[in-house]
Structure formats: structure tokens, C-alpha cells
Amino acid sequence: MSETGIIWLIVIVLFIVLIHMRSSSGKGWLGEREVALILYDLPMDEYKVIHNVMLQTANGTTQIDHVVVSVYGIFVIETKNYKGWITGSEYGERWTKNVYGKKYQFLNPIRQNYGHVKALETALGVAEEKFIPIVVFLFDANIMVKTKSPVVYTSQLRQEIESHRENKLSVRDVDEILNKINSLNIKDSKVRRTHVQTIQRDIKRNEEIIGQGKCPRCGGELKNRQGKYGPFRGCSNYPKCKYTTNIMLGNEQKRSVSDGVIWQQGTNFFEKRK
């Protein structure tokens, strides 16, 4: 290949990489890599780290960004590489990110991570109190919510993990849990692609149901209501069904379909640190 051909090949490859990094999946990958570097810096004799875990569940498959196993518990970490102001409620189905005045919805991360904890609890046969779920955001986000379960910035992640010093597991427990996670972790690329496609299909189906004014959880009517953070739509079967969704129109509604994610609130308020 000529020198000119090599230069054009490099340009094309860099262009493809740039496009991928600007996509939702590319941003997610970058966020997970940044968190992985922080976790690698933990003392290796105390903390054992496994990344990108996929487990089979009764309802299909679930993917977990990071699992850290130690005598202090099993840390289940969900990474979010989002920018803008992040608002929501502890039990809401979705949270909202506000980027330069444009609002986009994403699924609630603490609820998502709680699903990961339950999947691990079932797979490992370990009690729920042994798990410590953490949601971590990169610095492009400005977290405007309160949470019982930790929701932190990357700069606070190591401090949050090392703040838990009560022994919950024995050294033997840690070894057995690591071996079991590694044995259950699905590595087949076709299964992993199917997992992503299933999530995208479910998100699209739910949005279509919402577009018809129906609750995707129970089939009830969605009613316009006014809340602390502005107008929203809630299920008519409340309090039996607590499903809620923000009111969005046009491109914002389309964006919410492609940005499937999850969260929650409580009491620890983390301000963005400069």
C-alpha cells in the first residue's frame, strides 16, 4: 500500500472511532473504562474486581458493569456517562437529564442496579444484605437528587467503597463467590448482542404503549399530573401501580427511546465537586 493509501486508511479508522465514541454505546464504554481504572487502583489483597458480567436470569439476561468482591461485601456498580442536570425521584420509573434546556428521559439507575443485585443474589445464593449497590456518574453530570443508595461521581467512588469496613464475608466466601461469578458469566458474543437487542426492543415497545396513553406496567390510563419537578404522567391505578413518566414531545420523546438507562433517590446528597 502506498503512503497516501496508508494515510487515508488511518483517517477512515479515526473517523469511525470518533463516530463510535459519540454514540450512546461509545460513551458508555468510555465511562466503564474510566471506572475500571479507578477499581484497578484498589488494594488487590482486599478487593477482587470483575468487569462486564452477564448472567442468565428467569426473565432473560442481565448485564452488570462492575462487581467488586471483598470481605466487606459485594459492591455492584452501575456506570452512567451522562451530561447535564440530573433530576428524578426515588421511586420514579425514569429520571431526566437536562442538557442546555433540552430534557431527555432515561430509566431510573438505582432501580436498574437493584435488579442486578437481585440477579446476583439468586445466582450466588447470597443474602441481599451482603450487597452494596453504587451508581457512579462521570463529571459531565450535575446530580440534583438525594439518594439512600450511594450515587457518586467517579472522584468519590474509591472513598465510597473504602468507607464500608464492616466484615460481611469470610475470605473463603470471597473465593467461592469469585469462582461462581466467573463460571456463570456469559462470554458468548452472540448472546451478548441478543441481550442488547432485547433491551432496545423492550424500550421501543414501552414507548409505543406510552404513546397510546397506557401504562406499560399494568395497562392503566396515564393521567397528567403536577409534581415537585413539574408536570408528569402517572398511572390511573395509583397507589396500586406507581408508574410515572415525564411529559415530552417530538425529538425529545425519540431520544428517550435510544437512551435506555435507570436510577433512584434518598438521603445522601452529592454535590458536584470542582
Q: How confident is the model over 80-89, as pLDDT tens digits?
A: 988 899 998 7
Reported confidence tier of residue 177, pLDDT bands at 50, 70, 90 = very high
Residue 197, pLDDT score: 74
Please give the average per-residue pLDDT across 30-36, as a whole number: 79
Lookup: cell for 105: 428521559
In a domain, 77, yes or no: yes
* CA distance linking residue 126 with residue 124, whole number of Å: 5
pTM for the whole structure: 0.67
Encode pLDDT of 68-102 as tens digits: 999 999 999 999 988 899 998 777 778 899 988 88
Q: Is 29 helix (H, G, I), strand (E, B) or coil?
A: helix
In a domain, 24, yes or no: yes
The pairs formed by 189-194 with CB atoms below 8 angstroms and a separation of 24 or more are 191/54, 191/61, 192/54, 192/63, 194/61
- Closest to 161 (Cα-Cα) out of 251, 32, 71: 71
Residue 21, pLDDT score: 41
Q: How many CB atoms lie within 10 A of CB 113?
A: 24
In a domain, 274, yes or no: no
23-49 b/e with 16+ CB inside 10 Å = b? Answer: eeeebbbebbebbbebbeebeeeebbb
> Is the pLDDT higher at 266 or at 69?
69
Q: How many CB atoms lie within 10 A of CB 214?
A: 17
103 alpha-carbon distance from chain centroid: 18
* CA distance linking residue 82 with residue 263, whole number of Å: 12
In a domain, 55, yes or no: yes
197-210 b/e with 16+ CB inside 10 Å = b? Answer: eebeeebeebbeeb
In a domain, 128, yes or no: yes
Structural domain harbouring 140? 3-269
160 alpha-carbon distance from chain centroid: 17
> Is the pLDDT higher at 85 or at 139?
85
Lookup: cell for 143: 446530580
Residue 29, pLDDT score: 54
Q: Tell me the range of 16-25, 67-76, 132-141 where mean pLDDT is highest.
A: 67-76
Residue 6, pLDDT score: 60
Reported confidence tier of residue 8, pLDDT bands at 50, 70, 90 = low
Please give the average per-residue pLDDT across 183-190, as a whole number: 86
* CA distance linking residue 83 with residue 96, whole number of Å: 11
The pairs formed by 175-180 with CB atoms below 8 angstroms and a separation of 24 or more are 177/69, 177/74, 177/124, 177/126, 178/48, 178/50, 178/69, 180/123, 180/124
**How many domains would you assign to the chain?**
1
Q: Are strands 84-87 and 141-143 parallel, antiparallel or unpaired?
A: parallel
| Segment among 43-52, 199-208, 250-259 with least mean pLDDT | 250-259
Reported confidence tier of residue 261, pLDDT bands at 50, 70, 90 = very low
Lookup: cell for 267: 438521603
Residue 139, pLDDT score: 78
Q: Is 136 helix (H, G, I), strand (E, B) or coil?
A: strand
In a domain, 52, yes or no: yes
